[in-house]
Amino acid sequence: MSARYSAIDIANFFVDYFRDSDDPMTKLRLQKFLYFAQGESLARFGRPLFDEKIKALKLGPVVTAIDSEYPKGKGPIDIVGKYDPYIFAKEDLELLLDVAVFYGNFSNSALVKLSHEANGPWAAVHRPTGPPAVITQDSIREYFENGQRIPGALDDVIKALPLAGTVCDGHLVLPSSWDDRWNGKNGRSGQRKCVTPMTRTSQR
């Protein structure tokens, strides 16, 4: 089944989502998010988000076709080309948000560890020498289908509706007990934050 989007489309979503967070997207981090998003889509919908091949490199699964689009180094990266956030179908947008919120909780080293699991698709084909092997979509789908599924990003927000009790500029305000969870390492006890569809926060 042909994919609906290109890898750059998906990459641009994550770069844009984390642009104003404490953890803006880097090349290493982006490649992990592309891998996890592809796996979640294959497991959830039985179809890929993008057709570009994912290969098993030293630092994990990499979409090599887009790697050259970004400068070398560990610094934040920017959107490539023109980005239209309205191209995503509702179910795909929900999936991307799920991936962003869930995996946004992990450090770069933790993401590398997750993608290097001994029984995972990367470990099955990675070789230290020679050209990198392709990680097949079938192996990714099977691994994510049999693994722990990530929760929906908005599940807890919906559950919190009866508890919130206040709004800010017409938007839901989460309970103060959620501050550390939604503000990450910079969260402050007792401080509330407006939540809008486009709010981006660090999830470490």
Of the spans 72-81, 86-95, 142-151, 164-173, which averages the highest pLDDT?
86-95
Of the spans 84-88, 169-173, 193-197, which averages the highest pLDDT?
84-88
Assess whether pLDDT exceeds 70 at residue 87: yes
Assess whether pLDDT exceeds 50 at residue 29: yes
pTM: 0.75
pLDDT tens, 103-140? 999 999 999 999 999 889 999 999 999 999 999 999 99
The pLDDT of residue 165: 44
The C-alpha angle 139, 119, 108, rounded to 5 degrees, equals 95
The pLDDT of residue 188: 36
pLDDT tens, 158-188? 554 444 444 454 444 444 544 444 344 333 3
Q: Which residues, 6 or more positions from 154, have their beta carbon under 8 angstroms from its beta carbon?
A: 94, 97
The pLDDT of residue 147: 85
SS3 41: helix
* Cβ 116 vs Cβ 60: under 8 Å: yes
The pLDDT of residue 197: 40
